[in-house]
């Protein structure tokens, strides 16, 4: 397979992955139900963890990612387990992002997030909500990704730039209208 992604494409691929799964899907839920304002510290810990991983790769000059690094350092079994974990991570995060799109779309249409999901009575209660919109979104993304890596990368970094602009706007607007003396 021909390598046709530049460093610019790879940077925005990473930013898009962080924004898609981390900021838009999990931050609100974690801040509301579990961590509160301490969710910021989880981003710091995650960033430090990612930085340590980068240091491992650069220290040993492994250029093919975690699979190659673990294969060299710990052997084939650990590399195989890591590859399986990475595959599961991508599948679960893709499903989470596409499922959250259904919730956002329902909210945009003034409906409850679960109204566009199909209830399957034969499944366990927590797993009984089937999401056809998420399936369609995953299929569309898979078609784009399989057609052209460069085109899907361009779509990714354009949408990531838009997301970064939205996040900056919300933060700046929030700081401009914040009532500091209300505490």
108-127 residue pLDDT tens: 889 988 888 888 888 887 77
pLDDT-derived band at 40, boundaries 50, 70, 90: confident
**What is the rounded distance in angstroms from the CA atom of residue 10 to the CA atom of residue 65?**
13
The pLDDT assigned to 64 comes to 67
Q: How many other CB atoms are there within 10 angstroms of residue 101's CB atom?
A: 19
Q: Residue 59 pLDDT more than 60?
A: yes
* Weakest-pLDDT range from 66-70, 117-121, 156-160, 175-179: 66-70
**What is the rounded distance in angstroms from the CA atom of residue 44 to the CA atom of residue 36?**
15
Mean pLDDT, range 149-162, rounded to an integer: 80
Q: Take residue 18 and report the two structure tokens written for it.
A: 């962080």
Question: Strand runs (DSSP E) across the chain, as ranges?
Answer: 118-119, 129-130
Q: Take residue 21 and report the two structure tokens written for it.
A: 């799964």
124-146 residue pLDDT tens: 877 788 888 888 988 888 887 78
- Residues facing 118 on adjacent strands: 130
Q: Indicate the burial class of 70 (C-beta count within 10 angstroms; 0-12, 13-18, 19 or more).
A: buried
pLDDT-derived band at 57, boundaries 50, 70, 90: low
Specify whether the CB–CB gap between 149 and 4 falls below 8 A: yes
Single pTM value for the model: 0.60
**More confident call, 59 vs 148:** 148
The pLDDT assigned to 20 comes to 64
Highest-confidence range of 54-63, 126-135, 145-154, by mean pLDDT?
126-135
DSSP-based three-state secondary structure for 178: coil
């Amino acid at each position: 397979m021909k390598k046709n992604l530049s460093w610019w494409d790879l940077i925005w691929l990473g930013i898009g992955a962080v924004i898609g799964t981390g900021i838009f899907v999990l931050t609100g839920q974690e801040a509301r139900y579990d961590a509160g304002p301490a969710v910021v510290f989880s981003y710091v810990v995650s960033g430090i963890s990612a930085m340590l991983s980068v240091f491992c790769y650069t220290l040993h000059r492994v250029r093919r990612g975690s699979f190659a690094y673990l294969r060299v350092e710990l052997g084939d079994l650990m590399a195989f387990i890591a590859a399986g974990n990475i595959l599961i991570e991508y599948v679960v995060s893709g499903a989470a992002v596409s499922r959250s799109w259904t919730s956002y779309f329902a909210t945009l249409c003034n409906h409850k997030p679960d109204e566009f999901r199909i209830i399957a009575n034969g499944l366990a209660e927590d797993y009984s909500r089937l999401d056809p919109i998420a399936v369609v979104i995953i299929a569309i993304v898979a078609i784009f990704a399989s057609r052209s890596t460069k085109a899907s990368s361009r779509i990714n970094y354009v949408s990531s730039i838009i997301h970064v602009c939205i996040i900056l706007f919300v933060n700046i607007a929030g700081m401009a209208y914040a009532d500091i003396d209300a505490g």
